Structure 1
Amino acid sequence: MLVDVLEAFFTPGKPAYYPESAEVLDPLRGLLARARERGRLVVHAVERHYPGLADFEHKKLPRHCEIGDDQARYVEGFEPAGLPDEIEVPKRRYSAFYATDLDLLLREQRISRVVVAGVKTNVCVRATVQDAFAAGYEVQLPREATNSNRPHLAEASLEDIDRYFGRVVSLEQAWESL
């Protein structure tokens, strides 16, 4: 599951951009390539807000990733491949599970373990991992494939995830499990 690999976080000048985001692109490319090679279900969990409509998230953050705007575009090379086992799950909140059909989809595919990666560790990644755990999924989070513009919060989130919600693993361990 790739979380928010969108231009909003990776392109200079966009409101959610932070320079360190680029550090996760190569690990994310590797995970995506491995998942595709092995025919695994790939979930692109991406922010999709409705343009011009009220959104509770806007009380905390500026408008971003509105459907059709340039911030909501995938980082080049991370677009869904158009295969049946590669899907987009649009989300309007931090968690890919909240108010989406992700849990239903995973259960129908008899999936019990998820590898989650993307940005930002302390916000959307953590919320997704926590909800995956709450729904009964075994969760792996490859350390090298996530980060944040708030490193101290990312580290605290990794510690909490490993202690309470899943396993923080190396990139190599995540590749082996795919």
Structure 2
Amino acid sequence: MSDATNKELDSLLNQAFAEATKLYQERGFQRRVGFGKRPALVSVDLANAWTRPGNPFTCDQEKMDNEIIPGMQKLLAACRANGHPVVHVTTAYEITDRNAAFTDMGLWHNKIPVDVVNLADKDLWAIDSRIAPVEGEYTLLKKRASSFHGTELAGILRANNVDTILVTGVTACACVRQTICDGLADGFRTIAVKEAIGDRVPGAVAWNLFDIDAKFGDVHTVDECVAYLNSVSKAAGMAQAAE
């Protein structure tokens, strides 16, 4: 899609958002869930099959290289400096034969090409080396869109007293959105990190972030989230010193 077409799409979306904002605010939507006291970073599907070219799941490469990966690097640096939990989420399947009598793909392969993310090919589902996990961080393997569906994520977060999740990754219209919706449903304050969320389809990120901000979580910039991650650590240290 050309730059001119993208600009036209952005202009139309912004007009639609302005009108929708009036409706939402009149009806009591767009409230704030707010930041909590114990955050964790949940990064969804920023693995090679999504972040690198040449795969059916590959997302917008310009945004990936110039916004999402640099944004993630800033967030990871803040989490690591302040001792906040990090969960890297990826997706892969062990039985990828669509005609098999039994498969861990469920019925999802009838809609999308999940069979190309084979567990046997670790490079496909490995987290992008530019934001690779370090010791003390967890890599979670999921089978469905949501990072919470059928996984141990909620239990891990609760065991670490997490009340706020900063969600990044791809795609905005599916795995990121479902993770945010389920996170809120499971009792976590959900924050979508604006520049660190991507998709394959033009307009999908803008629309989903607008709608998430109205109904399922708060959208904040990378810089706002980094400032929060740093401030929580400082606040915790001051509280301990006062005891």
In structure 1, C-alpha distance between the alignment counterparts of 2:65 and 2:172, rounded to whole Å: 14
Deviation at 1:2, TM superposition (A): 0.9
Q: Which residue is equivalent to 2:187?
A: 136
Aligned partner of 1:11 among 45, 52, 56: 52
Judge which range, 9-18 or 39-48, deviates more. Answer: 9-18
The alpha carbon displacement at 1:171 in A equals 1.1
The answer to whether 1:127 aligns with 2:178 is: yes
Residue 22 (structure 1) aligns with: 65
- Aligned-pair CA distance for 1:108: 1.1
SS in 1 for 2:131: coil
Aligned to 2:224, what secondary structure does the other structure show?
Answer: helix
Contact 1:43–1:88 (CA under 8 A) maintained in structure 2: yes
Say whether the 8 Å CA contact 1:133–1:139 is kept in structure 2. yes
**Greater CA radius of gyration, 1 or 2?**
2
Structure 2 residue runs of 5 or longer lacking an equivalent are 1-41, 98-102, 230-243
Of Structure 1 and Structure 2, the greater helix share is in 2
Q: TM-score, normalised by structure 1?
A: 0.92
Query: What runs of 5+ residues in structure 1 fail to find an aligned partner?
Result: none
Decide whether the 8 Å contact of 1:130 with 1:165 is kept in 2.
yes
Question: Once superposed, what is the RMSD of the aligned Cα atoms?
Answer: 1.4
In 2, Cα distance between the equivalents of 1:36 and 1:177?
14
Residue 79 of structure 2, aligned match among 21, 35, 42: 35
Is it true that 1:73 corresponds to 2:126 in the alignment? Answer: yes
Matched with 2:165 is 114
AA in 1 matched with 2:79: A
- Contact 2:90–2:126 (Cα < 8 Å) also in 1: no
Q: TM-score, normalised by structure 2?
A: 0.69
Alignment partners' CA distance in 2, 1:74 and 1:101? 19
2:193–2:225: 8 Å Cα contact kept in structure 1?
yes
What percent of counterpart residues are identical? 28
Shift of 1:29: 1.2
**SS across alignment from 2:214:** helix
Equivalent position SS for 2:129: coil
Q: C-alpha displacement at 1:95, in angstroms?
A: 0.6
